[in-house]
Structure 1
Amino acid sequence: MNLTLVSVGLVKIVFGGLVAALGIWLAFRGLNRLLGTDAVEDLRKGNTAAGIVHASSLLALGLLVQHAIQATFDAMDLTLRTPPFQPLMVGKLMLFALLHVVLSLGVGTAVLAVGVVLFDKMTPGLDELAEVRKGNVALALVLSAILVVIALLTAPGLQAALNGLIPFPQLPDAVLRSPA
């Protein structure tokens, strides 16, 4: 048994869970402000349309933040597998992980806002947010699809940008190791 890998795996689980909790909290707060509603109250009332939009915003945010976490974990895996072990590099990676999460949550929030603005431009004369608050499921489904598609298409670019920020360890010449 490799205790280092087990420990790293446990750290990744805890980190991923904390990021997920923070992302869910921020997504609900951000969407509540954008829609001018309360997610808990929408769910209590059974507003299916608002529930669909809230769910898709969480999914979109998760798709984006997943790439930030993956970029950080790839660098961490390389650091741990590249001799000699560099404890200072792990500390740097933790700082970059925090920066990545903040940036990806910010980008995720911006993507949600762009999705709503884009949908608003595509449907002139229709108050989309008022329709969601009224429970218009058809409109909520289309808005949700827009949010998820934007997240899917922007996530690889976000990952590339975040990879550019990571201080990857220098591998010795002619050595290539893939992350676990």
Structure 2
Amino acid sequence: MFKPVYAFPIFCLLLLFVACGSPETSTTAESQTEPVSAQDMTSSALTTAIAASAEPPYDPVALLAELETAVSLWQSQAVGQYQVTVRHRRGSWNVQIFALTVENGRVVDSEHTCFPQQDCILQEVDPETLTIEALFETADAVIALNDPETEISFNPTYGYPNTVSYQDGIWTLEGFKLLEDE
């Protein structure tokens, strides 16, 4: 994800050089405005740059509305069986990878690995907490934390959470596959 914070110092320096190197403006009959000092121009440019580069404020109400819409979409699909891979990481953990088969909201098969495999430590995580239904609850709990670093995205077709992320943890769904009802 591109962070405008990296471009901000370069942009400010460019504005400073342009503002400091510009020739004095002269007052003519056509222009009755006062000349603007280089310091005023720089200050104005910095203010504009800061406002333009700021990320939108964290809005838990909007995230809750997105969550409700996603849950409704998921429930309207009436998905009975699916397979999904969930990557989960918290604090100092290695990335935990779970391949789940879920029927009627319950895990019927799971495989747990971690990355990087040569050094990783498998953490105790209940696979039932990684079903799509449980991840909706996780998303709700994360929103309630009011952490401004919260990022949640949803699949536009089925509504399940693609990513639930906040300062202390991240859940990413990969490889979702519907299974035929038998």
Greater RCO between the two (CA within 8 Å, min separation 6)?
1
| Shorter-chain TM band | under 0.3
TM-score (norm 2): 0.26
TM-score (norm 1): 0.27
Which structure is larger by alpha-carbon Rg, 1 or 2? 2
**Greater strand content:** 2
**Greater helix content:** 1
